Amino acid sequence: MINSFKAEWRKLRQRPAVWVLGGIMLAALFLFGYAFNWIQLSFPSKTFHSDAGLTIAQLKTALYPINFVKNSLEGVGIVGSILTLILGALAVGSEFGWGTVKTVYTQRPGRLQALAGQVGVVSVIAAIFTVAFYAVAALASLGIALGDGATITWPAAIDIIKALGATWLIFESWSLFGMALAYLFRQSAMAIGIGLAYVLAIEGILFRLLGGFDAGWVTTIEKFFLGQNAGALIKSFGQPFASPGAAAPIVTAGVAVLVLVVYSLVFAGVTSLVVRTRDVT
């Protein structure tokens, strides 16, 4: 297990695609979470107005350190899901494309030990992404606050730790989903394609359309889906400002964490079964 982890770590830490994905995630957070908002609020158009009736100075506090956790969590949603799903799919699927599955399996490790190494390293990379995510958010918010001459106040440490844990769990469950798809389809392209279709079409468009029915059964179904629970966990941290008409989380944070853990275990279990039983042709 340790040997497989070492091998996997040596392999993935040197793979440019992994860090490109991380870079895209951080760039998206910095640009869409901070830079564009700051520019919009610092140089507002004449027609600018806030739906919540807030002033520009009040809106800007969303970009300051006191709100860096809440402001960043919004970026974890779709972008984080997609990128970590791709991370998991690439970590596994490329092995089939290069034919290295057979090279690894014939070297020595048992199949499940090799898989455990992959899961372990992808989990570490998800953790690195998580820490980097909040580090960039904290630095961006600090820079903006210093630039505006605002007071520097940070959220409580416990809130930061909770956000780190929640974000890692969300990244982890999506990356395990990507890995499971890649093992099932024995390639990364199909895994990424189907994963994206699921994230965007099922979790995104379908539930948005069904939401128009305002029916209880829709909410009941939603409670069992990965993306909806990830969204509920994000919402449980609150937003810098209460948005008029914003829907409440469909489940509590505790339930969302439980569902995400169950999903992660199911993905890992399905993957283990496939890895153990399938021929390498």
Partner 1 sequence: MASSENVITTHKLTKRYGASIMAVDSLDLEVRRGEVFGFLGPNGAGKTTTLRMLLGLIRPTSGSATVAEHRPGDPEGLRQIGSLVESPAFYPYLSGRENLKIMSDYAGVPHTRVDAALEEVDLADRAKDRFGTYSMGMKQRLAVAAALIKDPELMILDEPTNGLDPQGVVEMRSLIRRLGTGNRTVMLSSHLLNEVQQISDRVAIIRKGKLVAQGTVHELRGESAIVVRVKPVDAARRQLDRMLGAAAVTAVDGTLRLSVDPDRAADINDALVGAGIKVSELRAVERTLEEVFLTLTGEAA
Ranges within 83-112 binding partner 1 (CB under 8 A): 98-100, 102-111
Of residues 4 and 271, the one with the C-beta less far from partner 1: 4
Nearest distance from C-beta of residue 247 to partner 1, angstroms: 44
Evaluate whether 177 touches 263 at the Cβ level (below 8 Å): yes
What letter does residue 247 receive in the DSSP assignment?
Answer: P
Residue at 101: amino acid letter: V
Which of residues 113, 123, 219, 272 is near partner 1 by CB under 8 A? 113
Query: Could you tell me which stretch among 3-11, 67-75, 83-91, 258-266 binds partner 1 (CB under 8 A)?
Result: 3-11
State the Cα–Cα distance between residues 118 and 259, nearest whole angstrom.
Answer: 23
Query: 3-state class of 223 per DSSP?
Result: coil
**Residue 189 touches partner 1, criterion: CB under 8 A:** no
Q: Which span (4-12, 23-31, 40-48, 242-250) binds partner 1, by CB under 8 A? A: 4-12
We find the least distance from the C-beta atom of residue 41 to partner 1, in angstroms, to be 42
CB of 115 to partner 1, least distance (A): 12
User: What part of residues 197-256 is at the interface with partner 1 (CB under 8 A)?
Assistant: none
Longest dimension (CA), the chain: 68
If the CB atoms of residues 70 and 186 are measured against partner 1, the closer one turns out to be 186
- To partner 1, the closest distance from the beta carbon of 169 in angstroms equals 28
Residue 279 sits in the site that holds partner 1 (CB under 8 A) = yes
User: Given candidates 29, 76, 114, 182, which one binds partner 1 under the rule CB under 8 A?
Assistant: 114
Q: Closest approach of Cβ 279 to partner 1, in Å?
A: 4
Residues in the chain, total: 281
Residue 11 near partner 1 by CB under 8 A: yes
Binding site for partner 1 (CB under 8 A): 3-4, 6-7, 10-11, 14-16, 98-100, 102-111, 113-114, 279-281
